[in-house]
Amino acid sequence: MTQRHADAIIIGAGMGGMCAAARLTAAGLRVILLEKSRYLGGRCSHRKRDGFTVTTGAIMIPMGANSAIRQAFDAVDARMDMIETTGRMRYRLDHGDYDLPETGGGLLGMITFAMEGDADSAGELFQHFRDAIGVAAPDENQTLLGWLDEHTQNRAVKRLFQGFCAALMGTNLHEIPAAEFFRFLRHSSHGSRFGLAARGNGSLMEALGAAIEERGSEIRRQSACRRILVENGRAVGVEVNRSGGRSGILHADHVLSNAGPRMTMALTGDERLFDGPWRERLEAAPHDAPIIHYSFICDEPLVEDLHGSLVFGNTRNLIYLEIPSLISPVLAPAGQYLHTAYGAPSDAATSNLKEEAENTIHELEANFPGVSKRAQFLVRARHSGRSPGMHRWPGFMMPVETPVTNLYNVGDGATSPGTIGTEGAASSAKVAVERILNR
């Protein structure tokens, strides 16, 4: 008889893997979570650089009661040490900046600002937005750019929502389906709250990991999955490589992969198992979304009163800027200010990422003259492919279930409709665990 080591094995300690481990553990299952690095959280973690706490990707984390992240933390009584930043969004266009009201309901204000006070035109377009959110969703094959073209010729409005989509969703107006964009607006309008991890994302995820292990599950760091074991079309465990070159076999009733759908397929060693509609959907287009990341320090904040996010609608590649140490001073030594800027390619599928990363710096300089000479850069990174960037674009996600029985995908390649980023990764864990428990 094959020895069973756990109820479930999870590959990868990103947000999807960690939330799945928390939910399964809370349900009474024993989990072994494998992470190839020393760190938990994936792109929701941090590294220490010269006394600065620098994110590996995520900045603002959902923290409201309706968040799948919060629910996973609560399931194992893990504390979320957060500083709330809900509503602290500023949008920049060529003609000025607009601060989103912290009380919410700023969509009409955003549109009116873009239209430079033309209240009648703004109200008409706002009604089209309301209809698309709650009455008649656009066709799934229509892009958001196509939808906007039908309802306005205002260039500033399109620049505004280009910045919005690139900053929050990692893709451009001509790439994201309009229906998915409006699903996101509908989802995010239900009491969403956001915050910054007070001591860095890595500390946040370590707290979740400790709570998981206190309840009997196990996290094995520096343990890479070499192969997913499949017998008669069913996942039965994994072959794992540990630091020092040791390898071994672990058996379980369920395997959940936070490695991305394509890597999950490759790890089985037999891609023929996935032939059919699932693989056709995977191969339909190159839907990974690259990310450009810069973290740097200055003696003074580039924006004195920025206690949230500055989203750019006056650029091609630069999408947003945050100053984490203005929100949580412990993230930087006294008298120094940690800044994080992100960029996105103008076309996620075909752009020259190196050139567009360089242009991101040029656009940062154009918005903040002299920053290139004043700043000390801690991170200059281009995340794509297996680096990774995001595994799939919003609107083109893979399902959590695979053609292999008891093999599931979690993470940003299998997010639920209307969810993005870390929240989307956590939502995939929620769905996968519900499927497992229902079986």
For CA atoms 82, 288, 317, 183, the dihedral sign is negative
Rounded Cα–Cα distance for residues 32 and 242 (Å): 14
Rounded Cα–Cα distance for residues 224 and 48 (Å): 23
Per-residue pLDDT tens digits for 27-57? 999 999 999 999 999 999 999 999 999 999 9
Arch. (CATH architecture) of 289-383: Alpha-Beta Complex (3.90)
Encoding tokens for residue 106? 């700023």
Encoding tokens for residue 373? 């000479």
Collapsed DSSP state (helix, strand, coil) of residue 254: strand
289-383 matches 92-188 in CATH topology: yes
pTM higher than 0.75: yes
Low-confidence stretches of the chain (pLDDT beneath 50): 1
- How many CA within 13 A on the CB side of residue 391? 28
Domain residue extents for the chain: 6-83+198-285+393-438, 92-188, 289-383
Cβ 260 vs Cβ 266: under 8 Å: no
Cβ 73 vs Cβ 208: under 8 Å: yes
Alpha-carbon dihedral 310, 313, 317, 319, rounded to 10 degrees:
20
Q: Which pLDDT score, from 0 to 100, does residue 87 have?
A: 83
Rounded Cα–Cα distance for residues 432 and 439 (Å): 11
Q: Which pLDDT score, from 0 to 100, does residue 390 have?
A: 84
Which CA distances in Å does 246 have to 10, 243, 267, 394?
Answer: 19, 7, 18, 38
- How many CA within 13 A on the CB side of residue 219? 29
Query: In terms of DSSP bridges, do strands 247-257 and 46-49 run parallel, antiparallel, or are they unpaired?
Result: unpaired
- The gap between the terminal CA atoms of the chain, to the nearest Å, is 23
Query: Which CATH class for the 6-83+198-285+393-438 domain?
Result: alpha beta
Which CA distances in Å does 300 have to 297, 303, 326, 332, 418?
Answer: 9, 8, 10, 12, 37
Read off the amino acid at residue 171.
T
Alpha-carbon dihedral 321, 322, 323, 325, rounded to 10 degrees:
-150
CATH number of the structural domain 92-188: 3.90.660.50
Rounded Cα–Cα distance for residues 283 and 285 (Å): 6
Cβ 163 vs Cβ 100: under 8 Å: no
Q: Which pLDDT score, from 0 to 100, does residue 189 have?
A: 67
Rounded Cα–Cα distance for residues 43 and 73 (Å): 18
